[in-house]
A and B are shown apart, each in its own frame.
Chain A
Amino acid sequence: MHAQASYLLTVVTFLPLFSVAALLVLRSDDHVWIRRIAFAASVGEFAVSLLLLRGFDSTDASYQFQEFYNWIGPSIHYHMGIDGISLFLVLLTTFLTPLAILCSWKSIQHNVKGFFISLLVIETAMIGVFVSLDLFLFFVFWEITLVPMYFLIGIWGHERRIYAAVKFILYTMFGSILMLVAILWLYHLTGTFDLPVIENILANSAPLSPTVELVLFGAFFLAFAIKVPLFPLHTWLPDAHTDAPTAGSVILAGVMLKLGTYGMLRFCLPLFPAAAHKLAPMIGVLAIIGIVYGALVATVQHDLKRLVAYTSVSHLGFVVLGIFAFNAVAMQGAIYQMLNHGVSTGALFIVVGMLYDRRHTHEISEFGGLATPMPVLMALFIFIALSSLALPPLNGFIGEFLILIGTFATHHAWASWAASGAVLSAIYLLWAYQRVALGEVTVEKNRALPDASGRERFILGTLAVVILFMGIASPYFTRPMEPAADALLQQMNNQLQRPQNAMRRGVPVKIGPHAVVLPAALAERQARP
């Protein structure tokens, strides 16, 4: 194990919290230095987190940079570690936070200190979720993410911010409290909160009875599905996004939604493989409904920010689909799409926020022909929109393509339905772009709007470079994911082939370089001469 770097995850997790301490000593009306220190701290955090990349062994499927200390009593540990699934999610968090800070430079003018403290606390909590390998520790971070986000929406949000904030926190808390009961139940059954140990116990010595497994899976899945959000649990999302400040939306869409899909990958699948298999058809259908429904609803929005919010419902549907297709290719696609969505949708929200800073509205009808007064901003907008609608060779394409191709191998119908979502995304994004940017300037006061400032160019330019890089250099990202995804599927397979699960098991076959699990029926058909 990589013992030499054993403090790195702790440092990466808690560094933002230390910068909060630095912010606390500043006078609260010293806005300039609060912003500078917050930005410097988050950039430093990003730099430190890059060390993870350097030390990461991308051929190793096991948890790396592990840290393990006793915390509370004999059964609760401070256990951290990352694998190919969580590595880039941590980096995504540390990458987006400085940009979120930078894009709030001018737009946040009251209670500045509280705002940046909230952002940094949320960063610590989210990284904590991604690196925790102890269910208790995980839950602590998981719940702590809610509070700063609640304040971000409630204090610095727009018109209906209080309603949105309360809805957000109650919705997500309801899901997570049942997960807490499930975690305690798992502890009751296994005597530990340590994830790898529980996996081991459930897989080998004390398998769950099918009913218990189903119930526990349900409790975990509900919490994650609300977070994702999976149709029909998505209704908090448009409200939260519409009324959140730009940075809040960036963090919410960019990272927080991924806590849900990450949770499915990390907990639902390895702990409860049989239940996951049993319910996968239903979940797949919900994901597809989410893809199509999210896209259709996005198309008819007249509020630009709400439109982008609904695209998240659609895109996260793809991710869930990729996860529950139980196929190495789709799973890698899903993990990759989590990153893509974070970057692209984060960028879209930043663009929307920049328009809001200028006009203080999200109504599409208030814009029109904006390419004339601000060509640079609109050029960056279309670039980002194209990445979001999955145009090759940009990043979105790789993710969706992997998901679709992987899903197709196991579920023809799912893939065909989901593909319609890719088409719809072109419709709503391009149409929105057309209404906002192209044609004559329709509202007179838009003529004088300033084009992107240096700061804004820097933010969007950085994101555009990353989008392009992720599009053409995708193997750089997918290679470390591959062993983890393969190992996860392998582990699920092993468990499904236990005698009592023989009825449900799939048969692994090789398609190209990737092991693919085919359902028994399909495998039979292939085996026929």
Chain B
Amino acid sequence: MTAVTISLPEQIANLRRIAPEIVLCIFGMIVMIVDPFVKPASRRALGWLAFAGTLVALASVHVAAAEMGFAYSRLISTDNFSIFVHVIVIVAAGLAILGSIDYLDREGIQRGEYYALVLFATAGMGILAGANELITAFIGLEMSSISSYILCGFRRKAKESNEAAMKYFLLGSFATAFFLYGIAMIYGSTGTTFIDAAKAELERQLAANGHFPALAILGLGLIFVGLGFKVVAAPFQVYAPDVYEGAPSPVTALLASAPKAATFALMIRIFYVSFHSAGDIWFWVIWISAVLTMFIGNLGALVQTNVKRMLAYSSIAHAGYILVAFAASTELGIAAVLFYLAAYVLMKVGAFLVVTHVGQEGEKRLNLQDYAGLGMKQPALAACFSLFLLALLGLPATGGFLGKFFAFQGALDSARAHGGWVVALVIIAAVNSVIGAYYYVRVIVAMYFWPQSSDYTPTRVAPALVVALFIAAIGTLYLGIVPGRVHSLAESAAHSLPLQSAGSNGPSNAIVIAPPQNAR
């Protein structure tokens, strides 16, 4: 292959398009370099440094947004879609970092690499969100996964934390292997690993042969196994309760939210763009998975008395609701998924951060009983938690409701294409959200209606955590009361994806120019 010379302005544009990742990685490295020179007592300053990193990254999203387009030979696509997911992921990471600072002090594991790993994981998720090429996506996936394996086991002395890390690592490696295998098959049948080029090639083959290449479908299936694992879609959810319960709570907050958003973004690119014309085939995969995910998540959560584990199951259930919107296979569906993710990240991170605080030293107070009377002891904290729980439940005036609302709306809107099955899916989702009501409400019952348990003495909520909870709560209410702006951003994000057929019209004509990877 001949060396490609890239002009300086083009270089700069490329850098600008991945500005958030650059910022996150630089801050991660600074944290690691500074770490040895900081006295153990003042290591918490590194947390603030990392938080500043997420703020700068958030600002640098603007830089990227001003320079839309493909970066580095089309490996990365900086479009509205990628920008939207970047914001979600970075906000989640920032909140998780805020929640970690005092947590790590409390647990006696205040170390710089923790924050560095969070930043690297976030950078990986950013790559996932923008990847236009499957190997690049794989790199992003590995960056985020490997960092999170380590983060899961960060409470080295706690048995359950080690178990979580081990489980997550072993199963996660399997999942990424499946993903890689899927890439290989898609490459085998289309001769490209570019997401948009694969679309054109698949459509060409469909038009030529009248059917989809079986190898590509098999590849899609394997990719669904790999990514379904990351978004905890059934039947690949088995690890989630143990891992989420065992991981340090702020890590769980991050794990349950940001990777889900980033991985869903990649799934949308692969399913909606590459395999757009196979929508009738993968609709059923998503349909079945959505139903299973919702029931397993909700029924599992129903019987938990450990609040952290209950929230872990609830995040499975929420993956199911997102899959309902995903099944729509329309632009409206993408917008619904994105909006849901935005709302979900805020309320889920918020909920896990409350668990972080109430857990107290050693994360011993995770049971429902420990929440008894919290409403009287720490009214503000309990009110925040109630808000997050009600949002997860889907009560109007919270982001959770509008997430569900748009999801159901998006799914129903595709009824013309998918017929009654998608209506059935929405009804199943609706019934599930009532099942969900029971266990969310039960925590509120404990906080407000149960007599105060005597052996729990509330500790002061640290300022960093207050800020994090405040942001999450305000965001949840904002998305619930004036969701218009975010939803229209989600719509334009959805619109920025090249869904239409390459031949028919418009924006994805550029695919033709894509360098054929297997030119011989």
Contacts and interface: CB of A to CB of B under 8 A. Distances in A.
A68 interface: no
Contact of A181 (B401, B426, B445, B483): B426
Interface stretch (B144-152, B232-240, B430-438): B430-438
A67 B294 CA distance: 39
A356 to B, nearest CB: 20
Q: How large is the interface on B (under 10, 10 to 19, 20 to 34, 35 or more residues)?
A: 20 to 34
B488 A73 contact: yes
Contacts of A140: 396-397, 401
Contacts of B401: 140, 143
A144 B401 CA distance: 11
Nearest to B448: A155
Interface stretch (A170-178, A244-252, A312-320, A496-504): A170-178
Given A144-B395, A154-B445, A187 B487 contact: no
Given A180-B405, A184-B426, A72 B487 contact: yes
Interface in B429-468: 430-431, 433-434, 437-438, 441-442, 445, 448-450
Interface residues on A, range: 20 to 34
Contacts of A161: 449
B408 interface: yes
Interface string B386-415: 000010000111000110010011001101
A154 B449 contact: yes
B376 interface: yes
B213 interface: no
A147 interface: yes
Nearest to A71: B484
B389 to A, nearest CB: 11
B397 A180 contact: no
B214 interface: no
The A interface, classified by DSSP as helix, strand, loop or mixed, is helix
Nearest to B393: A173
A184 B408 contact: yes
A181 B415 CA distance: 13
Interface string A183-202: 01101100000000000000
Contacts of B430: 177-178, 180-181
A18 to B, nearest CB: 16
Given A72-B487, A140-B397, A165 B449 contact: yes
A169 interface: yes
B397 A187 contact: no
B33 interface: no
A139 B412 contact: no
B412 A184 contact: yes
B38 interface: no
A297 interface: no
Interface in A129-172: 136, 139-144, 146-147, 150-151, 154-155, 161-162, 165-166, 169-170
Given A162-B445, A181-B426, A73 B412 contact: no
Nearest to A177: B430
B427 interface: yes
A169 B386 CA distance: 15
B27 to A, nearest CB: 36
A177 B433 contact: yes
A174 B432 CA distance: 10
Contacts of A185: 412, 423
A109 interface: no
A98 to B, nearest CB: 25
Question: Chain B binding site: helix, strand, loop or mixed by DSSP?
Answer: helix
Contacts of B431: 174, 177
B484 A155 contact: no
A462 interface: no
Contact of B445 (A139, A166, A188): A166
Contact of B396 (A71, A139, A166, A188): A139
A141 B449 CA distance: 24
Contacts of B434: 170, 173-174, 177
Interface in B268-304: none
Interface string A98-136: 000000000000010000000000000000000000001
Contacts of B442: 166
B409 A184 contact: yes
Contact of A151 (B408, B409, B415, B448): B448
Most A CB contacts (10 A, CB to CB) among B396, B409, B423, B448 go to B396
A136 B401 CA distance: 11
A141 B396 CA distance: 8
Contacts of B450: 162
Interface string B96-132: 0000000000000000000000000000000000000
Given A147-B395, A180-B430, A185-B412, A170 B437 contact: yes
B415 A188 contact: yes
Given A180-B408, A180-B430, A155 B395 contact: no
A188 B484 contact: no
Contact of A166 (B376, B426, B441): B441
Interface string A33-52: 00000000000000000000
B197 to A, nearest CB: 34
A144 B390 CA distance: 11
B344 to A, nearest CB: 18
Contacts of B448: 151, 154-155
Nearest to A140: B396
Contacts of B483: 72
Nearest to A113: B379
Contacts of B449: 154-155, 161-162, 165
Interface in B317-360: none
B303 to A, nearest CB: 16
A108 B423 CA distance: 47
A319 B166 CA distance: 63
Interface centre among A73, A166, A177, A181 (most CB of B within 10 A): A177
Contacts of A111: 376
A139 B395 CA distance: 10
Interface string A7-42: 000000000000000000000000000000000000
A394 to B, nearest CB: 39
A180 B396 CA distance: 11
A118 to B, nearest CB: 11
Given A154-B449, A184-B408, 6 more contacts: A136-B405, A140-B396, A178-B427, A178-B430, A180-B408, A184-B409
Interface of A: 71-73, 111, 136, 139-144, 146-147, 150-151, 154-155, 161-162, 165-166, 169-170, 173-174, 177-178, 180-181, 184-185, 187-188
15 contacts: A71-B484, A72-B483, A72-B484, A73-B487, A136-B405, A140-B396, A140-B401, A141-B396, A144-B396, A154-B448, A170-B441, A181-B408, A184-B426, A185-B412, A187-B412
Closest 4 CB pairs of A and B: A140-B396, A177-B430, A143-B396, A154-B449
Interface of B: 376, 390, 395-397, 401-402, 405, 408-409, 412-413, 415, 423, 426-427, 430-431, 433-434, 437-438, 441-442, 445, 448-450, 482-484, 487-488
